[in-house]
Structure 1
Amino acid sequence: MKVADVYIHGEWRWPDTWVTRYPSLLDLQHFTSHSADKVVWRSSSGLELDYGTSSVWNDIRTAHDEVPWSDMVWFPQAIPRHSFFMWLLVNKKLKTQDIMARWLSSGNMNFNLMCCSLCTLGPDSHEHLFFECPYSDQVWKGVKDLAGLHNVTNSWGSIYDHLVHFRGSKNAKHVIGRMVVSAAGYFVWQERNARLFSTKKRGANRLIEVILTTVRMKLHTMRFKRTSQVDSILQDWSLPRGLVIEDDDCG
């Protein structure tokens, strides 16, 4: 209820159920105010703020320091399902075979018989899949140059360090680099699972094509500031000149 609903013509008009439960309401002093009713939020530090979900959420949530990889996982140009996958990847939450091998086996299941479904050379792991496996290494080498990642090796540590270093950059090359790494990891993981749970297989060259096509389609929805670097990017990715604008860097 609003104050105006219970304070009428200079008198408190409390609902009977309120007075029964809280008799002290009868002792409440009268007041004079010409201000309009409004909803406010008194913060944990005692400040009165305009009520809003943002101010309330920031006040009641448990805050932590921002992680260094946030901008390389969540950024405006990202494909949402790829961002969610990258969140799992950087936190090493994917159920790779080396992790499953630590679980207690039951029945006739023997985790020692597991092998990477991409190369069959041994159990897969986080580092193996991204991108030290011969199959995923071939995929990485097939996509990294177009993403401007020529000098980045196939180890996840090297890739992670590069992305974190440029995590806040709006430079078109760095944005595309994040997109390509996310797409490469997503589709390698997808291929790994497809081979584990079905008979479907795609060669490395086919997966490279899928990754680059997916990123190219996303680039068609973006706009780029006119620079010599962007002209080169448009040419390399076979994108139309109509994507160039004069204002933002990479939108």
Structure 2
Amino acid sequence: MGLGFVTHRESLWVKWVHSYRIRGRSFWDVPIRNNITWGWRKILQLRSIIHQHIWIKLGNGANTQVWFDKWDAVCPLSRVITPRMITNAGLEMGATVADMVHNGGWAWPNSWVARVPALQQLDNVTLLPQVQDRAVWRSRSGEDMEYSTFGVWNDIREIQEPVDWDRIVWYPQAIPRHSFLMWLIVCKKLKTQDIMCNWRASGNANYNLLCCSLCTLGPDSHDHLFFECEFASQVWYGVRDKVGMQMIGKRWDDIMDYLRHHAASKHASHIIGKLVVAASAYFVWQERNNRLFSANKRNAAQLIEVVLMTVRMKLHTMKFRRTNSVNQILSEWSLPRELLLDQDDFG
């Protein structure tokens, strides 16, 4: 939503929101009612997260709400000054900083200063009549910057320790839907049957009857499907030679260890290796679901062909640097030489 609601940016959307949603109140003070739309509710729920970051650099003070905007370290003043105090003093809820500064001093009652110690901590305010107030985004580190979605996301997201598999899952040449599934696999978030067997409390279903739809030898799991299942292992063994992984067994941990070792590599064979692993996992999972919820079946040979065809089609969208190993890759994957670049890149 940017800073438009706070700055009254010249936008039809912002004008509409102020006319029909905010209606003369402060954006920070709009109540969350039961009859509001889902989208507007979500926007209002974000206020507690972003309010600390949206600061107003005072100019003339005419567009900064004195009670609700954050223009000083002790703000918003609405945390310490109640609506009743404001009303009893004959002041307006929508008052601006300019409305409250008279002859270099504050227009609120002197008794407030003793009653509300935070007011004593306010910095002296000097308004500049020819300068407009300006909203800025104050980062987690205390740096004021222009609003950007990148900066906002970095400041409001929950920061966790870096993982060692990010470049296995997310990389420029990846197929997005395959990356998403790889992320779920790495985090063990797929609803496999071993997880479902723990849902004993849900209904009268007999989860003991569940079995892998690919091999029918017992309940499936992340480790079973990728690729210890008899069917899935045939798929894996049918594609691994194409990317020089013939020595890597069918255990997911072994495959991931290999990919981690080459995760940062820009060598064509290593990038294609990540594509093949992700495509194999994607189509094994797809086949598992097809067999559970429909009568459609493909054998391992058909799945191998789908995996290789999908990767080959992706490779047609790329460019390769000219090396002897790349020439071999083009030959193995039946790719045209028009995909070669003159510069030393892989794109």
- Percent identity at matched positions? 54
The answer as to 2:257 corresponding to 1:161 is: yes
Moved more, 83-92 or 147-156: 147-156
Question: 2:101 matched to which residue of 1?
Answer: 25
**Alpha-carbon deviation of 1:235?**
0.4
Indicate the residue corresponding to 1:124 in structure 2.
220
In the alignment, what sits opposite 1:57? 153
Distance 1:225 1:113, change over 3 A: same
Provide the rounded CA distance (Å) in 1 between the counterparts of 2:60 and 2:209: 78
Distance 2:333 2:169 in 1: 22
The AA in structure 1 aligned to 2:214 is L
Query: Aligned-pair distance for 1:60?
Result: 3.1
Contact 2:60/2:132, CA 8 A, preserved across alignment: no
Shift of 1:106: 4.8
**Are the aligned partners of 1:86 and 1:182 in contact in 2 as well (CA < 8 Å)?**
yes
Secondary structure, aligned partner of 1:41: strand
Question: Which secondary structure does the structure 2 equivalent of 1:76 belong to?
Answer: coil
SS of residue matched to 2:243:
coil
Contact kept, 8 Å, 1:224 with 1:249, in 2: the verdict is yes
- Cα distance per residue 1:8-58 (max 9 Å; x no partner): xxx95848x97843553333535498x998764333333333443322332
Q: Name 2:326's counterpart in structure 1.
A: 230
Report if the CA contact (8 A) 1:172-1:249 is conserved. Answer: no
Q: TM-score with structure 1 length normalisation?
A: 0.86
**CA positional deviation for 1:113:** 1.2
RMSD: 2.6
Structure-2 change in CA distance of 1:99 and 1:42 (3 Å): closer
CA contact 1:105–1:111 (8 Å) conserved in 2: no
Q: TM-score, normalised by structure 2?
A: 0.64
**Secondary structure of 1:145's partner?**
helix
> CA 1:80–1:13 in structure 2 vs 1: closer, same or farther (change >3 Å)?
closer
Aligned to 2:184, the other structure's residue is in SS state helix
**Residues matched between the structures, number:** 241
| Alpha-carbon spacing, 1:218–1:14, altered in 2? closer, same or farther (3 Å) | closer
Larger RCO (alpha carbons 8 Å, 6+ apart): 1
Query: Match of 1:184?
Result: 280
Q: Specify every segment of 5 or more residues in structure 2 that has no aligned partner in the other structure, as ranges.
A: 1-6, 9-58, 67-90, 105-124
Match of 2:181 in 1: 85
Structure 1 residue ranges without an equivalent (≥5) = 3-10
2:181 is the counterpart of 1:76? no
* 2:101 partner SS: helix
Aligned equivalents of 1:12 and 1:211: distance in 2?
A: 64
Which residue does the alignment assign to 1:6?
A: none
Amino acid in the other structure paired with 2:221: S
* 3-state secondary structure, aligned to 2:317: coil
Residue of structure 2 equivalent to 1:249: 345
Bigger Rg, which one: 2
